[in-house]
């Protein structure tokens, strides 16, 4: 059995994770990396998106152009099956984001009503949002404004007509007009989800083009009722991120401390765990520890890194690795991207995996039910469980990979504008736009999304970033992709060596105007919902120049995409006419129509996202090749914008 396993160097470039995979093999514990090898080649029908399970007459599988039947029992063609499956996958990606946003809105409401133990940490942003929503703020207490904003936010899930409030508040008018013409303006995110499930049921929507426009509608819903809403209200409750210095890799786990990992997405729990870890430090000392060390995984990590500088151990694909160090007392998880394997892996260790949300339980984990109102109580209980587990460590099993890397984060749009103000106080965006026009910055790419055991972990994210930087493309990052870059020094000024001369000069000048040696080569803009920050930055640039996002030399890239959430975010970018590179092909290959719609260029096919919206999907698994395809598209957009 052992001989069949891949060498750890082929699985990840993170040497600490490599050590943990070897340790897991020695101890007979399976991780995602080895489970991935065991699964082996993927089902062709599934990969092409041509397996239809919409009714009990099936499942029907079609191999387009093959010898077998070319339709399902009901007559559904490959185009219809693929389009329905893809729509469903994007809906599945959108649902967690809109639920995330709804929960944050409810937390804001309960905070305003004095029912939940949070504060309005950023009243200025709250007032700004209220004003943009057209709500009265004058003469009102801040709690009243918060309540009004929360209720308006909740209309995103209740109203029957109109436009999603956060879409109306943020969207570019020309872009909005185009979407209106295509009839893809959402009013209510929950309704959109119901419609999505409804239209893909047997006997409903069978028009592939109509279904694909439905996909775009979901992307818009994801962006405005999910991402923007979450980020805005989280900034109100927890503060807008500013520059922080922190650390990356498994070396952030501390041998002599009680180690607690926060993992998942919704910051209400993670933030409180950090707070109570500080408050209960003496209890940890009483059991012989030097203190309490909280570190993060996935997007919970991003939330507390961006606002509090909490260190990050790793990202999605290696989330089991911290348990394998034998030095983690508790892993507090909320929702999304949490592998159900965690309690199984922790069976052989003393780590207590603690789930917290009623609809996100895992057999074998402890469960302490979280509600915003009970946040203090729950966080205390988690920290105390961790303290109690400190004495249960098995010293024989402890092995913490020592590698640790410095990183800067906290680059909210507000922080970026602040930094630029130190270069030009009156006109902060001017230096950025001037450098884009002059070619010192060729364009901007957002590196987003996941790590996926099907791709050598961190490798594609890191190589893609380096190749773009070398060609003077400014890189901003979110999600697990940002974690990959953080682990390899690209969130620290030391990584400046990877930049081309023009970009290096800009990052050094802006950094020095802000008292730093230089800005890091990649700006970490937050969690996956914080892709809204990237959208805000792009919108600000577009408004400044007087064009739309689709006209700018910008693109998104998700080289190691795993979760359908990243797909929904990609569709959100696409709806704005921003190209999106994927390193793993979504299951659409079974339909030429669907593939052409998403990946074709306007010159080649009549009906494409490129023609209708101005951007397309670029599939390329080799990150260096991908960087060059993206660069060519950026050059094309530069030529159209600047007449180069
Ligand atoms: O929402 S990047 S693996 S953690 S889905 Fe998940 Fe992908 Fe990580 Fe954050 Ni985003």
**Residue 1 pLDDT:** 43
CA-to-CA separations, 502 to 51, 99, 437, 515, in angstroms, rounded? 49, 42, 12, 20
- What distance in angstroms lies between residue 265's CA and the mean position of ligand 1's atoms? 8
Q: Average pLDDT over the chain, rounded to whole?
A: 97
**Residue 282 pLDDT:** 98
Tokens of 46: 């599934």
Give the separation between CA 394 and CA 390, rounded to whole angstroms.
10
At residue 603, does pLDDT exceed 90? Answer: no
Locate the ligand 1 atom nearest the alpha carbon of residue 527 and give its number: 9
- What distance in angstroms lies between residue 509's CA and the mean position of ligand 1's atoms? 33
- Structure confidence at residue 19 as a pLDDT band (50, 70, 90): very high
- Structure confidence at residue 644 as a pLDDT band (50, 70, 90): confident
List the residue whose alpha carbon is closest to atom 9 of ligand 1.
299
Phi, psi of 583 (to 5 degrees): -90, -10
Locate the ligand 1 atom nearest the alpha carbon of residue 337 and give its number: 6
- What distance in angstroms lies between residue 458's CA and the mean position of ligand 1's atoms? 13
What radius of gyration do the chain's Cα atoms show?
A: 24
- Contact between 164 and 156 under an 8 Å Cβ cutoff? The reply is yes
- Structure confidence at residue 2 as a pLDDT band (50, 70, 90): very low
Give the separation between CA 45 and CA 72, rounded to whole angstroms.
13
Tell me which residue of 246, 265, 367 sits closest to 313, measured CA to CA: 246
- Contact between 38 and 1 under an 8 Å Cβ cutoff? The reply is no
- What distance in angstroms lies between residue 283's CA and the mean position of ligand 1's atoms? 33
CA–chain centroid gap for 307, Å, is: 16
- What distance in angstroms lies between residue 570's CA and the mean position of ligand 1's atoms? 13
CA-to-CA separations, 323 to 8, 33, 301, 374, in angstroms, rounded? 18, 15, 16, 27
Locate the ligand 1 atom nearest the alpha carbon of residue 265 and give its number: 9
By CB atoms closer than 10 A (0-12, 13-18, 19+), residue 614 is buried
Ligand 1 pocket test, pick from 267, 270, 302, 528 with the greatest ligand atom count within 8 Å of Cβ, gives 528
- What distance in angstroms lies between residue 172's CA and the mean position of ligand 1's atoms? 27
Locate the ligand 1 atom nearest the alpha carbon of residue 561 and give its number: 7
List the residue whose alpha carbon is closest to atom 6 of ligand 1.
337
- What distance in angstroms lies between residue 304's CA and the mean position of ligand 1's atoms? 15
List the residue whose alpha carbon is closest to atom 3 of ligand 1.
450
Q: Is 364 left (phi over 0), alpha (psi -120 to 50) or beta?
A: left
- What distance in angstroms lies between residue 639's CA and the mean position of ligand 1's atoms? 34
Concatenated DSSP letters of 398-419: -------EEEEE---HHHHHHH
CA–chain centroid gap for 261, Å, is: 19
At residue 565, does pLDDT exceed 70? Answer: yes
Q: Integer distance in angstroms from the first to the last C-alpha of the chain?
A: 58
- What distance in angstroms lies between residue 229's CA and the mean position of ligand 1's atoms? 18
Tokens of 118: 């949070």
- Structure confidence at residue 606 as a pLDDT band (50, 70, 90): confident
- Structure confidence at residue 143 as a pLDDT band (50, 70, 90): very high
Ligand 1 pocket test, pick from 230, 262, 336, 450 with the greatest ligand atom count within 8 Å of Cβ, gives 450
**Residue 605 pLDDT:** 85
Locate the ligand 1 atom nearest the alpha carbon of residue 481 and give its number: 2
**Residue 514 pLDDT:** 95
Give the separation between CA 401 and CA 15, rounded to whole angstroms.
8
What is the tens place of the pLDDT at every residue in 368-427?
Answer: 999 999 999 999 999 999 999 999 999 999 999 999 999 999 999 999 999 999 999 999
List the residue whose alpha carbon is closest to atom 1 of ligand 1.
528
Residue list, ligand 1 pocket, CB within 6 Å: 265, 298-299, 315-316, 337, 449-450, 479-480, 527-528, 562-563, 565-566
Mean pLDDT over residues 190-215, rounded? Answer: 97
What is the tens place of the pLDDT at every residue in 67-109?
Answer: 899 999 999 999 999 999 999 999 999 999 999 999 999 999 9
**Residue 346 pLDDT:** 97
Ligand 1 pocket test, pick from 449, 477, 586 with the greatest ligand atom count within 8 Å of Cβ, gives 449
Tell me which residue of 485, 521, 482, 488 sits closest to 503, measured CA to CA: 521
Tokens of 131: 């004003």
- Give the other-Cβ count within 10 Å of 565's Cβ: 29
What is the tens place of the pLDDT at every residue in 25-64?
Answer: 999 999 999 999 999 999 999 999 999 999 999 999 999 9
Mean pLDDT over residues 226-242, rounded? Answer: 98
List the residue whose alpha carbon is closest to atom 7 of ligand 1.
450
Could you tell me the pTM of the whole model? 0.97
At residue 11, does pLDDT exceed 90? Answer: yes
Phi, psi of 192 (to 5 degrees): -60, -40
HSE (side-chain half, CA atoms, 13 Å) at 253: 28
- Structure confidence at residue 4 as a pLDDT band (50, 70, 90): confident
Place of tokens 């399970």: 53
**Residue 604 pLDDT:** 85
- What distance in angstroms lies between residue 452's CA and the mean position of ligand 1's atoms? 10
- Structure confidence at residue 66 as a pLDDT band (50, 70, 90): confident
List the residue whose alpha carbon is closest to atom 4 of ligand 1.
298
At residue 160, does pLDDT exceed 70? Answer: yes
Mean pLDDT over residues 297-312, rounded? Answer: 98
List the residue whose alpha carbon is closest to atom 5 of ligand 1.
563
Of all residues in the chain, the percent with pLDDT exceeding 90 is 97
At residue 3, does pLDDT exceed 90? Answer: no
Locate the ligand 1 atom nearest the alpha carbon of residue 451 and give its number: 3
């Amino acid at each position: 059995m052992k001989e069949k396993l891949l060498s750890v160097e082929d699985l990840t470039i993170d040497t600490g994770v490599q050590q943990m995979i070897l340790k897991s093999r020695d101890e007979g514990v399976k991780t995602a990396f080895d489970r991935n090898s065991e699964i082996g080649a993927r089902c062709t029908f599934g990969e092409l998106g041509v397996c239809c399970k919409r009714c009990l007459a099936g499942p029907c599988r079609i191999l387009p152009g093959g010898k077998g039947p070319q339709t399902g029992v009901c007559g559904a063609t490959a185009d219809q099956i693929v389009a329905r499956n893809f729509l469903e996958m994007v809906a599945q990606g959108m649902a967690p984001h809109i639920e995330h946003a709804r929960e944050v809105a409810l937390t804001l409401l309960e905070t305003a009503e004095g029912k939940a133990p949070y504060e309005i940490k950023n009243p200025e942003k709250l007032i700004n949002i209220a004003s943009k929503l057209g709500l009265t703020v004058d003469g009102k207490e801040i709690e009243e404004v918060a309540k009004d904003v929360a209720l308006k936010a909740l209309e995103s899930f209740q109203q029957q007509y109109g436009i999603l409030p956060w879409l109306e508040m943020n969207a570019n008018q020309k872009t909005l007009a185009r979407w209106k013409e295509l009839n893809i303006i959402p009013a209510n995110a929950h309704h959109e989800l119901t419609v999505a499930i409804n239209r893909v049921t047997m006997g409903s929507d069978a028009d592939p083009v109509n279904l694909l426009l439905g996909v775009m509608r979901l992307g818009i819903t994801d962006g405005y009722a999910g991402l923007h809403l979450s980020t805005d209200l989280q900034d109100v409750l927890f503060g807008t991120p500013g520059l922080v210095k922190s650390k990356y890799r498994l070396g952030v786990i501390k041998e002599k401390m009680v180690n607690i990992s926060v993992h998942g997405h919704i910051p209400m729990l993670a933030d409180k765990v950090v707070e109570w870890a500080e408050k209960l430090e003496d209890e940890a000392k009483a059991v012989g520890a030097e203190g309490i060390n909280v570190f993060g995984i996935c997007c919970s990590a991003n939330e507390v890194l961006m606002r509090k500088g909490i260190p990050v151990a790793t990202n999605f694909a290696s989330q089991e690795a911290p348990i394998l160090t034998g030095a983690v007392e508790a892993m507090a998880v909320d929702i999304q991207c949490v592998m159900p394997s965690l309690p199984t892996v922790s069976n052989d260790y003393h780590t207590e995996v603690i789930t917290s949300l009623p609809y996100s339980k895992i057999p074998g984990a402890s469960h302490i039910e979280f509600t915003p109102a009970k946040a203090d109580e729950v966080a205390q209980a988690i920290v105390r469980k961790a303290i109690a587990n400190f004495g249960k460590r098995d010293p024989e099993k402890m092995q913490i990979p020592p590698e640790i890397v410095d990183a800067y984060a906290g680059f909210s749009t507000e922080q970026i504008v602040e930094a630029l103000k130190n270069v030009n106080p009156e006109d902060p965006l001017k230096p950025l736009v001037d450098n884009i026009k002059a070619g010192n910055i060729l364009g901007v790419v957002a590196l987003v999304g996941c790590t996926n055991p099907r791709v050598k972990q961190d490798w594609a994210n890191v190589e893609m970033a380096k190749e773009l930087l070398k060609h003077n493309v400014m890189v901003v990052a979110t999600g697990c992709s940002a974690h990959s870059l953080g682990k390899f020094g690209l969130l620290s000024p030391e990584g400046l060596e990877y930049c081309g001369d023009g970009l290096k000069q800009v990052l050094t000048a802006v950094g020095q105007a802000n008292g730093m040696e230089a800005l890091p080569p990649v700006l970490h803009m937050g969690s996956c919902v914080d892709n809204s920050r990237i959208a805000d930055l792009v919108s600000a640039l577009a408004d400044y120049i007087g064009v739309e996002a689709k006209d700018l030399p910008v693109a998104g890239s998700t080289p190691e995409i795993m979760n359908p959430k990243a797909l929904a975010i990609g569709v959100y970018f696409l709806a704005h006419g921003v190209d999106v590179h994927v390193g793993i092909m979504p299951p659409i290959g079974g339909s030429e129509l669907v593939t052409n719609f998403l990946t074709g260029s306007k010159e080649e096919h009549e009906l494409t996202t490129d023609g209708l919206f101005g951007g397309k999907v670029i599939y390329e698994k080799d990150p260096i090749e991908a960087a060059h395809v993206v660069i060519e598209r950026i050059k094309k957009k530069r030529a159209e914008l600047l007449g180069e």
